[in-house]
Structure 1
Amino acid sequence: MVNNDEYLKITKQLDKGWRVIDENRVPFLRKVLGWLGNPDQKYKIIHVAGTNGKGSTGEMLNQILQASGYRVGKFSSPGLYTYREQVMINSTYITPSEFVREFNKILAVLKAHDLDMQTLSFFEWWTVISLSYFGSQQLDIAIIEVGVGGDLDATNAITTSLLNIFTKITYDHQDILGDDLVTIATAKCGILRPGAHVISYSGQDAEVQAVINERAQAIGAKLYDGPRPIITTYKVSPAGTNVKINDRLEVFLSLSGHFQLLNLNTVLQAVNVLRQLDYQISDAAIKDGLGQANLPGRMEYDAKNNIIRDAAHNPDGIEALVASLKSWRLPFKPTVILGILRDKNYMTMLEELLPYVARIIAITPANPSRSLTADELAAQILEMDDNVEVSIADDPTAAITVARQVRESSDAMIVITGSFYTLRAVKGIKF
């Protein structure tokens, strides 16, 4: 039995760089998969790209397919509370022993070609490990979530895909993907495969959708032209949303947030395609799956302490968070524990958020090289809106302490947001 220390030692040694601007990486990773016997060809793949909503869309499909009796692999990033969250089969994380086994198998292949462990970056290692691991586990289908972009992303090393799904495409990672939506959408369309069925988020920007249509047609991918489901909301709360689908099927969606309804629309279109491809998915499986869907750090509600943890990390994510807060008609404006990366469009994020909060506890996210410091964040907030109370927490424990003090005099919800690294910084600290 592999000791957990071996897993931790390996993950600490991996190169944390993305390497997403090198056009030679994806062809090289395809070579590596070839050396491993092309494990990605042993199961069907749903490949999901987009700016926001990839995790939610993938998780809803994951649970619906499991409820239908299929054995489902899911690769998504980043892992919030453990790296192993990134690789799951039927919602069970890869174990440290399984990770080490796959790592050693791949390392042996690299060494046979005069390469070493630093040949692959952290994200490339996890991508190849997931594809290799899935190939040994008799999967029916795997849901693979793009990391950054599409064409140059490590997940694009896969050979074929059954479905290409595009969630909402908007501005993020402009330093890598470009400054305009057409360029960003073109990069994300790099995942398209001939013969694959293509589904796009219903609220997609018109110029983004035009790029998807053009690129899909050019390579012979099949754009979805079936019915768009009609989703009616009749009860919303931080715990989730009760909806009626096509005025017929009543469902409780356990993923909280108003924006999830458009993601659900995308998922239901994917279900229509899968049914056409002879996947047996009943209405009961849809209902059961949506009730089980769960994503750490994405509108994650702690009812006992009235806390929302949401890794909204760009303007679009913050806008979606604010829309949810407004839809819940909260009796008091919330207190927000906030930490933001300096390479995000944080001015726009703050402009969107500040009118809807009573106080902010500024912290420094757990990413020293990219973080906006708590002092810098607090100063920016005070400059923009002097009606919002601002506190500076020197560390995550101090942030929770301040939030506790606020809670003693208020029943306001507490929201932890701004970045995955912000949520990671406060993990394990009990409220």
Structure 2
Amino acid sequence: MTVHEDYVKLVKKFDKSWRVVHENRVPFLKEVIGWLDNPDEQLKIIHIGGTNGKGSTGEMINEVLLAQGYHVGHFASPAVYTSREQISFDDEMITEAEFIKYFKQIYKVVQAHGKGIKDISSFEWWTLVALVSFAEKNADFVVLEVGLGGEQDATNLISSAMLDIFTKISYDHQAILGDKLEGIAKIKAGIIKPGATVISYNGQDVAVKRILKEATETAGAKWYDGKSPVITTFKASPEGTVLKVDGNTDVFLGLAGQYQVLNLNTAIQAVHALRDLGVEISSDAVRNGLKNAKLPGRMEYNAAQNILRDAAHNPDGIRGLVASLAAWKLPFKPTVVLGILRDKNYLSMLEDLLPQVSRVIAVTPANPGRALTADELAAQILELNNTVEVAIADDPTAAITLARQIRENSQTMIVVTGSFYTLRAVKGIKF
């Protein structure tokens, strides 16, 4: 059996359910990490929670630290095209062979304590493998992004953090986190650790910010109240944004999207806070790191094909996508390949998106249990806006065929969006 076959066979055995609703999960995982001699305790961790922007903020910080010459472990979710995207070290994604190695190393200890593979969920296994691998590779820093929620998230097994960063906190996963913003904020604030420096997104809701500040004081952490970065946008395009940051001109941010400027504000606050803690980070490292920042499936633009892939999967994400499309002043309204999960607030997403597009090709995301079918999506679109052209694609290949036909008659941008599962559905199919 090949390494790839071994890897596929292994990950298929994982329990894919989220266990964040179980109050005993984090205490159990703390016990497990203790069996492994607490590798997290030798790591300098930058823990990032929030709703939207965790991936972008984490990637900016990761790239700035790498540009300074540090060795950095980065744990990010959800993955878009392959689960291995979740774990990278010095920008190299974990290999299948490495994952198997670290899994076996951990599983041997887990079995010795009477537990089996199903006693730990898939996301929990990935978290454990990340921390063990980063410790073994002697990472100088670890950028650790929360998966879902905060207090009961698997990443909250860590005992300490240098920085606890909060990106914008808004509504998402209401079935798990509840439908009250303040309640969601309290759950997310549960990651705050004693002694950590706490940083918040600059445009945070007033009530959310108050909750974060109260949680910071209760935990014995320190609220970062340094000077807010001064950021000016000069030119925005699908390839990225030219900016002035704290007096540094001609800074190019490789992550496209108007909303990335607010995420950049959070990342620069983190840079200032790290400097305050004695971490050397030069202006050149900031400039080079931001230029190198890229994320699969997040405002991922292919200029040769004029295709944008963006896994905007909730109302906030769609609003950010729409704002970016407007800022780019495109010559034609885009054609959108769209697939949405039924447990999202898809009516709100459609209300924001439809006025900004010329046509929609409805697809069914690659998640049969949660997907809004292409037929259902098309019906909702026609009910909300009968001026938008709608087509239904039975499968991803059909969606691409339709998009190609549209391409023959105009230079319209094609946008693939609505869910990470939508991006996975069209992965590898050429436009």
TM range (shorter): over 0.9
Contact 1:161 1:193 in 2 (8 A): yes
Give the aligned residue type for 1:427: K
Residue 24 of structure 1 deviates from its aligned partner by 0.2
> Unpaired segments of 5 or more residues in structure 2?
none
1:224-255 per-position Cα deviation (integer Å, ceiling 9, x unaligned): 11100110011110000000012334300010
3-state SS of paired residue (1:26) = helix
Does residue 166 of structure 1 match 2:166? Answer: yes
Residue 2 of structure 1 deviates from its aligned partner by 6.9
Does residue 318 of structure 1 match 2:318? Answer: yes
CA distance in 1, matches of 2:133, 2:333: 46
CA distance in 1, matches of 2:246, 2:123: 40
**Residue 386 of structure 1 corresponds to which residue in structure 2?**
386
CA distance in 2, matches of 1:217, 1:250: 39
Give the aligned residue type for 1:379: A
Give the aligned residue type for 2:276: Q
CA distance in 2, matches of 1:76, 1:372: 26
CA distance in 2, matches of 1:392, 1:233: 38
* TM-score, scaled to structure 1: 0.99
3-state SS of paired residue (2:361) = strand
CA distance in 2, matches of 1:114, 1:70: 38
Give the aligned residue type for 2:346: Y
CA distance in 2, matches of 1:2, 1:332: 48
Residue identity over aligned pairs, in percent, reads 60
**Residue 177 of structure 1 corresponds to which residue in structure 2?**
177
3-state SS of paired residue (1:142) = strand
Does residue 399 of structure 1 match 2:399? Answer: yes
CA distance in 2, matches of 1:112, 1:134: 23
3-state SS of paired residue (1:123) = helix
1:148-168 per-position Cα deviation (integer Å, ceiling 9, x unaligned): 000000000011000000000
CA distance in 2, matches of 1:12, 1:267: 36
Residue 294 of structure 1 deviates from its aligned partner by 0.5
3-state SS of paired residue (1:318) = helix
Residue 139 of structure 1 deviates from its aligned partner by 0.6
Moved over 2 A (4+): 246-250
**Residue 278 of structure 2 corresponds to which residue in structure 1?**
278
CA distance in 1, matches of 2:198, 2:95: 33
The residue correspondences of 1:38-49 to structure 2 (distance < 5 A) are 38-49=38-49
Residue 53 of structure 1 deviates from its aligned partner by 0.2
Give the aligned residue type for 1:40: D
Supply the RMSD in Å over aligned alpha carbons. 0.9
1:3-28 per-position Cα deviation (integer Å, ceiling 9, x unaligned): 12111110111111011100000000
* Matched residue count: 431
Give the aligned residue type for 2:59: E
Residue 105 of structure 1 deviates from its aligned partner by 1.2
Contact 1:88 1:94 in 2 (8 A): yes
**Residue 7 of structure 2 corresponds to which residue in structure 1?**
7
CA distance in 2, matches of 1:369, 1:178: 21
CA distance in 1, matches of 2:193, 2:168: 19
CA distance in 1, matches of 2:168, 2:249: 25
**Residue 81 of structure 2 corresponds to which residue in structure 1?**
81
CA distance in 2, matches of 1:288, 1:311: 26
**Residue 129 of structure 1 corresponds to which residue in structure 2?**
129
1:94-149 per-position Cα deviation (integer Å, ceiling 9, x unaligned): 11111001111111111111111011111111011111111100110100000000
The residue correspondences of 1:31-430 to structure 2 (distance < 5 A) are 31-430=31-430
CA distance in 1, matches of 2:22, 2:321: 34
CA distance in 2, matches of 1:297, 1:263: 17
CA distance in 2, matches of 1:272, 1:115: 43
CA distance in 2, matches of 1:34, 1:420: 34
Contact 1:360 1:391 in 2 (8 A): yes
1:181-215 per-position Cα deviation (integer Å, ceiling 9, x unaligned): 10000000000001100000001011100100111
